[in-house]
Amino acid sequence: QEQFVESGGGSVKPGGSLKLSCTASRSFDSIFSMAWYRQGPQNQRNRVASDTTTGITHYAESVKGRFTISRDNAKRTSYLEMNNLKPEEKGVYCCNSLVIPAPWGQGTQVTVSS
């Protein structure tokens, strides 16, 4: 069964940047679409970005122009680059296959605070 491990979180000030990584346990290039989610205080997950193997990307309106999703199939890794972070964007960031989700991983914590 596929598993994803997220990393790269941390604590930054408003306006700061982070680059998150999500590494798959198995082959990655067969995963049609990957997505990143932000988990809020009540454990709700909101999708912030997604991509496809055909290069189509989609972003939540609030992060457009600041977040970039990308992937490296050879490294079995998806990335989420986040710039100009806002305090309300703190939370646990998780990744998963969009079409056939795997069990959720631990995620990586992002804190945005002055």
Contacts of 54 (CB under 8 A, 6+ apart): none
User: What pLDDT sits at residue 1?
Assistant: 80
pLDDT in tens, the chain (114 residues): 889 999 999 999 999 999 999 999 987 777 889 999 999 888 899 999 999 988 999 999 999 999 999 999 889 999 999 999 999 999 999 999 998 889 999 999 999 999
User: What pLDDT sits at residue 42?
Assistant: 87
Comparing CA positions, the residue from 9, 6, 36, 56 lying closest to residue 97 is 36
User: What pLDDT sits at residue 46?
Assistant: 96
User: What pLDDT sits at residue 104?
Assistant: 92
Comparing CA positions, the residue from 34, 11, 22, 21 lying closest to residue 90 is 11
* CA–CA dist 16, 32 (Å, integer): 31
